[in-house]
Structure 1
Amino acid sequence: MRRLFDEELADLDASFTEMGMLVSETIGKAVTSFINHDRQTAQEIIDNDSQINQREVVLEKKTFEMIALYQPVTIDLREIVTVLKAVSELERMGDHARDMAEATIRVKGTKRSASIEKNIAQMGELSKTMVKEILSVYVKDDAQGASEIAKQNQAVTDMAHQVRNDVITQIEDDAKLATSGTDYLMVAGHLKRISDYVTNIAEWIVYKRTGKIVDLNSGSSSFI
């Protein structure tokens, strides 16, 4: 029985990691398509969003089945609960990537700002990297590493505030940027929320390793 449980747990971890990599790639594509005004890639992201949703459903079902069948305790139960919670966070990240893709399609023909888009690209790269890194520390069961990744959330927050300030300043100078400026704020907000969700996963990794509930996100979840 123990061998079967360990095998299923390993499969669960592998499926969770695969879902995380898919989400990370989708975030990267969403930001790149927004910056490059690539409506075709944006539409593909929207069309493929159901793949992430389906993975969440499958993983959630698997965790419930394992709890019912094996009735795990202590560290085994914490590991299953961590996956159950973390897949929900990944699915939300996918939703934000889809929303960024929708913004890409919506802003066609509006005036853009190269400097703001550069900052958004940097936000996107850091957010995508955080997702990849949190998957790595999950596999390593590294609570300290998870805490270190969560600290990067502040850098994303600072970038979001910079985007907000730049949008306000540039709209004051040129009212034609008002439409795209609204989308810049929305995209920055989506990336900020993605980094918040990474922090949430980091908290669950700490819980899995130590059994303690911690708060690694001492800042605000919003920058507006």
Structure 2
Amino acid sequence: MEHTLKSVDTGLGGLSHAVAAMGDLAVAQVRASIDVFVRHDLADAAKVVRADDALDLQDAEIEKRAVGFIALHQPVADDLRRAIAAMKIAMQLERCGDLAKNIGKRVGRMSAAASENQAAPIAELGQMAAERLAAAVNAYRGADAQGAYSVWLKDTEIDERHDSVLREIVAGMVANPAAIEDGTHLLFIAKNLERIGDHATNIAELVYYQITGADLTERPKL
């Protein structure tokens, strides 16, 4: 029995380490996508696009390991939640990588760098999304239910910031019809960042459930 328990702990520990490492890479990818947008660096934008392959491989490996762990040990309760959460969180992180890749592609398609007035609010939105994702990953790494709950509570902040950015971009497109094409790219970049925030919230929900066994369903009214 002791040998079996040790192998379970080892398997779950390896999964947790792999997911946390993938989370760090996803956060780095998101931050890199924001950086190449602000600097309009086409060479580095292409690197962001190519770097997504690493997250895809990690997602596939984590899924394989989690399925293998479940098949071998047939875990229940807390152990089963940890294995399933590892798979689901990896999936959310992979999608964040896809969104960072999409931002890199959009940067490559823009005819010129965004003006400072355009770039600043989008970069601020991106920073919020990256920080939210990093906080969710840290909550997972530290098995911090309260930290996950805090991330989940702040979901509407990114949505509200995104709505504000959206209005600013549209107003700029109306004022300068010649900039509509690049403005469209800005709209998609902002939307990608808002969706990264959504995935961070999803990760926080999964972390909270993994630790407590309870679902987060309704935010308290302020």
Equivalent-residue separation in structure 2 for 1:108 and 1:47 (angstroms): 21
Q: Residues 93-104 of structure 1: matches in 2 within 5 Å?
A: 93-104=96-107
| The one of 86, 89, 96 aligned to 1:86 | 89
State the shift of 1:161 in Å: 0.8
The residue number in structure 2 matching 1:31 is 34
The superposition leaves residues 7-31 of structure 1 with CA deviations (integer Å, 9 ceiling, x where unpaired) of 1211111110110000100000001
The residue number in structure 2 matching 1:180 is 182
State the shift of 1:113 in Å: 3.1
Runs of at least 4 residues off by over 6 Å = none
> Is the Cα–Cα contact under 8 Å of residues 56 and 87 in structure 1 kept in the other structure?
yes
Equivalent-residue separation in structure 2 for 1:161 and 1:30 (angstroms): 20
The residue number in structure 2 matching 1:147 is 149
Equivalent-residue separation in structure 1 for 2:133 and 2:119 (angstroms): 21
State the shift of 1:217 in Å: 7.6
The superposition leaves residues 90-147 of structure 1 with CA deviations (integer Å, 9 ceiling, x where unpaired) of 00000000000000100033x7332121011111111111111111111222222111
The one-letter code sitting in structure 1 at the alignment partner of 2:13 is A
Equivalent-residue separation in structure 1 for 2:15 and 2:217 (angstroms): 26
Equivalent-residue separation in structure 1 for 2:218 and 2:124 (angstroms): 23
> Is the Cα–Cα contact under 8 Å of residues 96 and 190 in structure 1 kept in the other structure?
yes
The residue number in structure 2 matching 1:222 is none
Equivalent-residue separation in structure 2 for 1:71 and 1:154 (angstroms): 38
| The one of 132, 145, 161 aligned to 1:159 | 161
Q: Name the % identity.
A: 26
| The one of 35, 46, 50 aligned to 2:49 | 46
SS of the residue aligned with 1:190? helix
Equivalent-residue separation in structure 1 for 2:89 and 2:130 (angstroms): 16
Report the RMSD for the aligned CA atoms in angstroms: 1.5
| Greater alpha carbon shift after TM alignment, 179-188 vs 87-96 | 179-188
Q: Residues 62-81 of structure 1: matches in 2 within 5 Å?
A: 62-81=65-84
The one-letter code sitting in structure 2 at the alignment partner of 1:113 is S
| Count of aligned residue pairs for this structure pair | 217
Equivalent-residue separation in structure 1 for 2:33 and 2:44 (angstroms): 8
Q: TM-score, normalised by structure 2?
A: 0.93
The residue number in structure 2 matching 1:195 is 197
SS of the residue aligned with 2:186? helix
Unaligned runs of 5+ in 2: none
State the shift of 1:158 in Å: 1.5
Q: TM-score, normalised by structure 1?
A: 0.92
